[in-house]
Amino acid sequence: MQTDLRGRDLIGDLDFSKEEVQTVLEVAYDLKRKRALGEPHPYLRDKTLAMLFFFSSTRTRGSFESGMAQLGGHAAFIESKTTQIAHGDTEREIGDIFGRYFDGIAIRHVDWGVGNQYLNLVAEAARVPVLNMQCEIYHPFQILADLMTIQEKVGPNLRGVKMVVSWAYAASYLKPVSVPQSLILQLPRFGLDLTLAHPPEFKLRPDVMEQAQAEAKKYGTKFEVVDDMEAGFEGADVVYAKSWGPLLTTQDPDEGKKFQDQYKSWITDEAKMAVAGKDAIYMHPLPADRNVEVTDAVIDGPQSVVFDEAENRLHVQKAVMALTMK
């Protein structure tokens, strides 16, 4: 177990080593057990967390706010538009000042080409840990929860387990690419063989792809890319299918919507799940576009683990906060 996480930032998935991620998971399992038994665990009594949101949230806000309360501290919800950020407060000022007011700063900022840089500039100026609640490149806490869920459902030894990370059609806005990018960065370290499936216009960042391939090589796992949803699903033990925008192709929402609408057949339905392994689990970070991105029969069916997955956001976030903000 690694015990040197105090004061550390978590902005990108590879900021923590594999051993440090294992420590986070061990602590998360312990906190989940304590929560189930009603055992108090106020490790962050009198500590405060600033939660700065530039992008709307349901699970992220709820789990961080509830998690801080369960750890004995307080989380302050701060919506960027209600602050002086719109009138001139810089990243350095937010980092320096919030670093004096709070014991940790959590930020969600997914604007393309802006969010990740914003987090890093705040972190440079802050004297406290900066935690990434999602940027346009990474979504590390979602993937920690995903990893915890896969271990619970499939088993602790994931060597040789096949997982497909697939694009899926959505009729709503062009969603960030951060979830699939974080998945392909983190999960090869734990033995999963990954297949990334997406239409040609929905590529991920080349630098992230190179890092993912390097991680797969380092840990002796498979990593392949296909442009056919059913081919990706074939024989998969874990199905993780969600939409993301063609942001590497275009940032124009109207043009992006045209690309998106070409692939309405990329829906996770019972027929596609039947192509996967017979005991395959279905995962999604939520919210999902029901009966567009995934059918009700799948997301509400026996193979779906989306609500357990959502719960585990609480536990992994509490673990990281307890380890870094103590």
206, exposed or middle or buried, with CB in 10 Å at 0-12, 13-18, 19+? exposed
Q: Is the pLDDT of residue 1 over 90?
A: no
Whether residue 54 lies inside any domain: the answer is yes
Whether residue 96 lies inside any domain: the answer is yes
Q: Are residues 169 and 269 in the same domain?
A: yes
Alpha helices in the chain (DSSP H): 18-37, 59-70, 91-101, 115-125, 140-154, 178-186, 206-219, 229-233, 253-261, 270-275, 296-299, 306-325
CA distance 170 to 257: 10
What are 111-161's pLDDT values in tens digits? 999 999 999 999 999 999 999 999 999 999 999 999 999 999 999 999 999
Mean pLDDT of all residues in 214-222: 98
Q: What pLDDT is recorded for position 68?
A: 98
Q: How many residues does the chain have?
A: 326
Q: Are residues 95 and 131 in the same domain?
A: yes
Sign of dihedral through CA atoms 117, 12, 290, 80? negative
Taking alpha carbons only, the member of 260, 209, 199, 187 closest to residue 229 is 199
Q: What pLDDT is recorded for position 52?
A: 98
CA distance 1 to 308: 25
What are 255-269's pLDDT values in tens digits? 999 999 999 999 999
Q: What pLDDT is recorded for position 75?
A: 98
- C-alpha angle 135-57-243 in degrees, rounded to nearest 5: 65
Mean pLDDT of all residues in 63-68: 98
- Domain of 17, in residue numbers: 13-139+313-325
CA distance 6 to 76: 21
Q: Are residues 96 and 67 in the same domain?
A: yes
Q: What pLDDT is recorded for position 3?
A: 85
> In Å, how far from its chain's centre is CA 40?
27
pLDDT band at 56 (very low <50, low <70, confident <90, very high): confident
What are 153-191's pLDDT values in tens digits? 999 999 999 999 999 999 888 999 999 999 999 999 999
What are 274-297's pLDDT values in tens digits? 999 999 999 999 999 999 999 999
Q: What pLDDT is recorded for position 134?
A: 98
Number of helices followed by number of strands (H, E) in the chain = 12, 9
Mean pLDDT of all residues in 184-212: 98
Q: Are residues 80 and 31 in the same domain?
A: yes
Model-level pTM greater than 0.85? yes
Q: Are residues 172 and 319 in the same domain?
A: no
Whether residue 258 lies inside any domain: the answer is yes
Q: Are residues 146 and 130 in the same domain?
A: no
Contact (CB, 8 A) for 243 and 236: no
On average, the pLDDT of the chain sits at: 97
What residues are paired with 105 via a beta bridge?
Answer: 50, 130
At 27, which CATH number? 3.40.50.1370
> In Å, how far from its chain's centre is CA 263?
24
What are 14-49's pLDDT values in tens digits? 999 999 999 999 999 999 999 999 999 999 999 999
Q: Is the pLDDT of residue 86 over 90?
A: no
Peptide bond into 302 cis (omega under 30): no
Q: What pLDDT is recorded for position 162?
A: 98
Taking alpha carbons only, the member of 128, 54, 119, 77 closest to residue 98 is 128
* DSSP line for 113-152: TTHHHHHHHHHHH-SS-EEEEEESS--HHHHHHHHHHHHH
Q: Are residues 170 and 281 in the same domain?
A: yes
Contact (CB, 8 A) for 189 and 143: no
